[in-house]
Amino acid sequence: MKGVIFDFNGTLFWDTAYHNNAWDIFLAKNNKKLSDSEKDVFIHGKNSKAIFEFLFERELTPVEVGTYTEEKEQIYREICLSKGMELAPGAIDFIEFLIGRNIVFTIATASGWENVQFFVDQFKLNRWFNIEKIVYDNGKIQGKPSPDIFLAAARNLELPIHECVIFEDSISGLKAAQNANPGKIYHVNSINMDSSEVSQTSITNFNQVDIQLF
């Protein structure tokens, strides 16, 4: 393997509980309710347009999508700052291993640019990542489980997808990864999911990655 593509939320940053909390606040304001398991199916890993059109059961204009997205993400960012933020167990050591082996890597996230900027600032991601190569929800890339986001990330790395390893946590993200057909997929089990539901190798720490792949 010559490249690595990381999902971010729930993968490099274990923030699923923060997102669920933010969604509960947003949904309550709009007289709606979803269980955490329903969020796993209908929200996590999806792009904003798909999420909000599902929630409001109608087609939304780009302005409406942007307004709802920023309302929810502002709640989420405030929760992050109040709870504390750190990268996933073993993530920094693994990233530095990749740098030492000259393995290229990037992020492919369903987050919008405002959240990407927030993560870059809070984690100082430019220490390791070329920010220009990060793939995010720009309103043009089809959302997961479409493989488009991972294929775009591989193009940014200038590698064929079969020479890349993908790290993902969500069900829709894992389906997108499978549809991309990379060389290897790791399920980052950040929410204690029953890993028997997942056909990929599950890890709870990046020190569990088989470095012989590289």
Residue 182 preceded by cis peptide, ω within 30: no
The CB-based long-range contact list for 117-124 (8 Å cut-off, 24+ gap) reads 118/77, 118/80, 119/8, 119/13, 122/80, 122/85, 123/13, 123/85, 123/87
Summarize pLDDT for 39-83 with one digit per residue, the tens: 888 888 788 898 999 999 999 999 999 999 999 999 999 999 999
Domain ranges of the chain: 3-14+87-213, 16-83
Secondary structure percentages of the chain, helix, strand, coil, to 5: 50, 10, 35
According to DSSP, the residues that pair with 27 across neighbouring strands are none
Rounded distance, CA 98 to CA 96, Å? 5
CATH architecture designation of domain 3-14+87-213: 3-Layer(aba) Sandwich (3.40)
pLDDT digits (tens, 9 = 90+) for 89-111: 999 999 999 999 999 999 999 89
Query: What pLDDT shows up at residue 197?
Result: 67
pLDDT reported for residue 48: 87
Tokens of 138: 């720009």
* Average pLDDT of the chain to the nearest whole number: 93
Specify the pLDDT at position 47. Answer: 83
pLDDT digits (tens, 9 = 90+) for 149-198: 999 999 999 999 999 999 999 888 999 999 999 999 999 999 888 767 67
Question: H or E stretch including 4?
Answer: strand 3-6
Percentage of the residues of the chain whose pLDDT score is greater than 70:
99
CATH of region 16-83: 1.10.150
Q: What is the pLDDT of residue 195?
A: 65
Q: What is the pTM of this model?
A: 0.89
